[in-house]
């Protein structure tokens, strides 16, 4: 009898890891490494540990499921501290999208708080800027494609294309890691987006306000050729966690189970 | 029959993690209603737990009832933080007698790894701030990031002992709503003091 219970329990746990680990299908393993990001600690190498990343950005459909399960995050219930009036602006009501929207499009008009909470509920978290940029510097062939001229051009041509947020997820080719849509659909929240020390007013032609930021002189661009990345950092530096923006979505990551 | 039991077991285990959380949330909102309504824009909506310089665990809503003046620093900082501490001290000194006992002056660490409660205690003593109305708080890295997001404070670790960070002093009214922010170092604090007084008068 005891034996049977053990076996039963064992099977249940095994199945649970398969169902909820989601490692093979929806999330992909990213092998850690070092690189010099656009803005780093004194322009030194940043080290990223191994982790799992969602293959695709979170979709409208997935977010509908989330708010059904967590009514606190529905449009009419959300606390203003956590999301401004633009939250889920393209939704008809608490659980239904406008008829113009597609279920398979990336969720946008979500705040950092909402995105963080979504990931937390899936047993995941938002990627750090360093993690996101690490995976995003890959193209289809190389883990670090930033040296290629075509890499930058492709991303910049997307930045110019209008209304890419209405496309369905998964339309772009898999990158080196098997991840899709880091470029080409929407921009994505990162857990520490508020570590970018550029003042919001970019027209002032200065990227650091020495009076407002302590030690900001130590943080500067290391690779100004990477203009696409520069735009991303500038964007992150200009937003606030309550903002909900039309072309800003997110995806989640997960730490390796045993470190 | 066995298969049914097995299936049921799996289901139970599967849904447990998320269900529990919903239940907790429900309980939390209930207790919330019991005490007093917390407004939508109040920082008392944040559920995070913080530890003060005396090693005592608190939630932000435990600070409810007073006007809060908050700044994010780290104790090993050599450049701007001493000036921020000085700014806070000057603000406190200039507050009129009528506001005494109604204003909490709070430092929140952006370097929770280094700034243990012991370290915060030592820092408080060094600065003669180990007494009312001063409080020093630390929490997990995640909670700190969240709190900074609420305050629109930006910070980044640039080496294990050094951070870049925004120099912002924030004033919250007794409901926990952000009413004013002073940006920059060594700036004139008149507006900040005015706003603290105003928040106290509206209590």
pTM score over 0.90: no
Q: Residue A26 and residue A21: Cα distance in Å, rounded?
A: 10
Please give the CATH number for the structural domain made up of A2-255: 3.90.1580
Indicate if B50 and B95 belong to the same structural domain: yes
- Closest residue by Cα to residue B143 from A5, A22, A116, A54: A116
Indicate if B16 and B48 belong to the same structural domain: no
Complex prediction ipTM = 0.74
Q: Residue A243 and residue A235: Cα distance in Å, rounded?
A: 12
Indicate if B6 and B58 belong to the same structural domain: no
8 Å CB contact of A116 and B146: yes
Indicate if B80 and B156 belong to the same structural domain: yes
Q: Residue B66 and residue B174: Cα distance in Å, rounded?
A: 5
User: Across-strand partners of B177?
Assistant: B42
According to DSSP, the β-strands at A187-188 and A248-249 are parallel
Indicate if B128 and B89 belong to the same structural domain: yes
Whether A243 and chain B come into contact, CB under 8 Å, resolves to no
A195 in Cβ contact with A129 (< 8 Å): yes
Per-residue tens of pLDDT for chain A, all 259 residues: 556 656 655 555 444 544 444 445 799 999 999 998 876 545 578 899 999 999 999 999 999 999 999 999 999 999 999 999 999 999 999 999 999 999 999 999 999 999 999 999 999 999 999 999 999 999 999 999 988 888 888 888 888 888 888 899 999 999 999 999 999 899 999 998 888 765 433 333 333 444 554 444 334 455 545 678 888 888 888 888 999 999 999 999 999 886 4
Distance from CA of B176 to the nearest CA of A (A): 11
Residues of A in contact with B166 (CB under 8 A): 197, 212-213
Q: Which CATH number characterizes residue B55's domain? A: 3.40.30.10
Domain tally for chain B? 2
Indicate if B7 and B58 belong to the same structural domain: no
Indicate if B118 and B173 belong to the same structural domain: yes
Indicate if B51 and B75 belong to the same structural domain: yes
Question: Could you give the angle at the alpha carbon of A97 between the alpha carbons of A92 and A101, nearest 5°?
Answer: 120
- Closest residue by Cα to residue B84 from B163, B20, B10: B163
Indicate if B58 and B124 belong to the same structural domain: yes
8 Å CB contact of A16 and B13: yes
Domain residue limits at B27: 1-37
């Amino acid at each position: 009898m005891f034996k049977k219970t053990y076996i039963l329990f064992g099977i249940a746990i095994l199945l649970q890891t398969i169902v909820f680990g989601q490692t093979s299908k929806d999330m992909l393993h990213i092998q850690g490494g070092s690189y010099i990001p656009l803005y780093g600690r004194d322009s030194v190498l940043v080290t990223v540990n191994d982790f799992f990343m969602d293959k695709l950005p979170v979709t409208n459909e997935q977010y509908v499921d989330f708010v059904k399960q967590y009514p606190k995050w529905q449009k009419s219930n959300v606390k203003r501290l956590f999301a401004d009036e633009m939250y889920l602006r393209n939704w008809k009501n608490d659980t239904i999208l406008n008829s113009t929207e597609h279920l398979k499009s990336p969720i946008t008009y979500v705040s950092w708080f909402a995105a963080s909470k979504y990931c937390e509920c899936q047993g995941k978290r938002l990627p750090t800027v360093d993690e996101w940029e690490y995976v995003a510097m890959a193209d289809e062939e190389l883990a670090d494609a930033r040296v290629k001229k075509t890499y930058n051009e492709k991303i910049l041509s997307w930045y110019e294309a209008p209304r890419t947020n209405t496309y369905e997820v998964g339309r772009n080719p898999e990158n080196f890691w098997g991840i899709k849509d880091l470029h080409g659909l929407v921009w994505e929240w990162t857990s520490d987006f508020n570590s970018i020390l550029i003042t919001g007013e970019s027209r002032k032609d200065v990227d650091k306000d020495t009076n407002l930021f302590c030690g900001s002189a130590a943080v500067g661009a290391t690779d100004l050729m990477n203009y696409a990345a520069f735009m991303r950092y500038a964007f992150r530096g200009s937003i606030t966690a309550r903002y909900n923006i039309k072309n800003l979505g997110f995806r989640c990551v997960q730490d390796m189970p045993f470190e | 029959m066995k298969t049914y039991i097995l299936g049921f077991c799996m289901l139970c285990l599967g849904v447990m993690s998320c269900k529990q959380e919903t239940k907790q949330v429900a309980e939390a909102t209930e207790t919330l209603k019991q005490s007093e309504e917390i407004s939508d824009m109040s920082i008392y909506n944040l559920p995070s737990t913080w530890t003060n310089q005396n090693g005592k665990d608190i939630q932000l809503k435990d600070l409810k009832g007073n006007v809060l003046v908050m700044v994010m620093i780290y104790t090993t900082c050599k450049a701007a933080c001493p000036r921020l501490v000085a700014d806070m001290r000057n603000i406190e000194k200039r507050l009129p007698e009528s506001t005494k006992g109604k204003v909490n002056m709070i430092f929140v660490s952006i370097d929770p790894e280094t700034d243990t409660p012991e370290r915060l205690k030592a820092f408080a003593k060094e600065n003669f701030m180990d007494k009312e109305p001063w409080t020093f708080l630390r929490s997990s890295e995640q909670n700190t990031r969240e709190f900074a997001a609420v305050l629109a404070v930006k910070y980044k670790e640039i080496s294990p002992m050094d951070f870049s960070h925004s120099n912002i002093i924030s004033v919250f009214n007794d409901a926990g709503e952000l009413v004013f922010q002073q940006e920059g170092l060594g700036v004139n604090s008149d507006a900040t003091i005015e706003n603290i007084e105003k928040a106290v008068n509206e209590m």
